[in-house]
Amino acid sequence: MILLHALLFLILGKGGKNDMAIVYAVLIVKGKKTFADVPAKIQAQVREVLIDMELPELAEI
């Protein structure tokens, strides 16, 4: 269900979120990356996406 929400964010462009932030958020949810792996430049956007996905605990370093 969470990945479905991420795909909908990506497809619908919810709120003009950066596509790379959404990609990183999906990778974090799948366990392929951690929040520490996210480039500093887009960490705030990835954090926002994870919060929107109701997974703020994954946005911790």
Domain of residue 54, residue span: 2-59
Q: What was the pLDDT predicted at 4?
A: 72
Q: Residue 3: which H helix or E strand, with range?
A: helix 2-12
The pLDDT tens digits along the chain (61 residues) read 667 776 666 666 655 558 889 889 989 999 999 999 999 999 999 999 899 888 999 999 8
Asked whether the beta carbons of 3 and 26 are under 8 A apart, the reply is yes
Overall pTM surpassing 0.85 (yes/no): no
Looking at the structure of the chain, the number of domains it has is: 1
CA angle 8, 12, 15 (to 5 degrees): 105
